[in-house]
């Protein structure tokens, strides 16, 4: 059965480029990003892992730990990491899981048989500190991810978790947010002292609370 939003992310033990890990222990109380790659030594994946490494400080600022997966071996990963560091001008600073038996890929429904019987698609999961899945994005193998969008979604999810707000279409950090419908209009001033606008009874906005 495939995973859905709100499900608990399956735990696992795995060998990685940085040693053996328990997934839950690795995450601790952090948010997590788990993302898969079709294979080692592939061009699009090389740029993605390089981009992830370059965003180390951005992920750390959001209390996010990242971990990648490929169905190739850990030894293969280590050689590939040398190429990533050389071609992308980075130092890969997060573990890459070796999933040769595809157990983790199957647990996370990362193999889509109509795309490939063996390679993982570009699945990405954002996992909250309580280990529930908050976002799933699946790209085809030919399309690299937009990491600014991933950071934007993390910001949105963390705002919702901490402040009872949602984010509108094309929202960016620092822009107004939407007050969730569960909050009564008369209760908004006490909860959001920066002010608010009532566009419609069901559409109320307020400045981003943590800015």
Residue 89 near residue 58, CB atoms below 8 Å: no
Q: How far apart are CA 121 and CA 118, in angstroms?
A: 10
Measured at the alpha carbon of residue 68, what is the angle toward residues 13 and 105, in degrees to the nearest 5? Answer: 60
Measured at the alpha carbon of residue 67, what is the angle toward residues 64 and 73, in degrees to the nearest 5? Answer: 170
Would residue 6 show up in a list of annotated catalytic residues for this protein?
no
Give me the catalytic one of 9, 27, 45, 177: 45
Burial group, residue 58, by CB count within 10 angstroms (0-12, 13-18, 19+) = middle
Q: Which residue has the tokens 């994005």?
A: 137
Q: Helix (H, G, I), strand (E, B), or coil: what is residue 151?
A: helix
What is the per-residue burial (b if ≥16 Cβ within 10 Å, else e) of 60-94?
A: eeeebbbbbbbbbebebbeebbeebbeebebebeb
Burial group, residue 9, by CB count within 10 angstroms (0-12, 13-18, 19+) = buried
Residue of 52, 64, 26 lying closest to 122 (CA atoms): 52
Q: Just list the catalytic residues.
A: 45
């Amino acid at each position: 059965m495939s995973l859905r939003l709100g499900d608990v992310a399956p735990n696992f033990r795995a060998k990685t480029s940085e040693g053996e890990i328990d997934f839950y222990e690795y995450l601790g109380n952090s948010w997590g990003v788990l993302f898969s790659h079709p294979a080692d030594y592939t061009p699009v994946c090389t740029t993605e892992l390089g981009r992830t490494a370059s965003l180390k400080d951005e992920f750390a600022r959001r209390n996010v730990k990242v971990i990648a997966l490929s169905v190739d071996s850990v030894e293969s990963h280590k050689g590939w990491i040398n190429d990533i560091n050389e071609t992308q001008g980075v130092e890969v600073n997060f573990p890459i899981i070796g999933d040769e038996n595809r157990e983790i890929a199957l647990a996370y429904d990362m193999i889509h048989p109509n795309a490939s019987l063996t390679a993982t698609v570009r699945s990405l999961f954002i996992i909250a500190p309580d280990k529930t899945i908050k976002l799933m994005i699946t790209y085809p193998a030919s399309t690299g991810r937009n990491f600014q969008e991933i950071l934007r979604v993390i910001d949105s999810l963390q705002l919702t978790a901490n402040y009872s707000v949602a984010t509108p279409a094309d929202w960016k950090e620092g822009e107004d947010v939407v007050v969730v419908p569960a909050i009564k209009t008369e209760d908004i001033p006490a909860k959001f002292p920066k002010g608010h606008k009532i566009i419609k009874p069901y559409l109320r906005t307020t400045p981003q609370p943590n800015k």
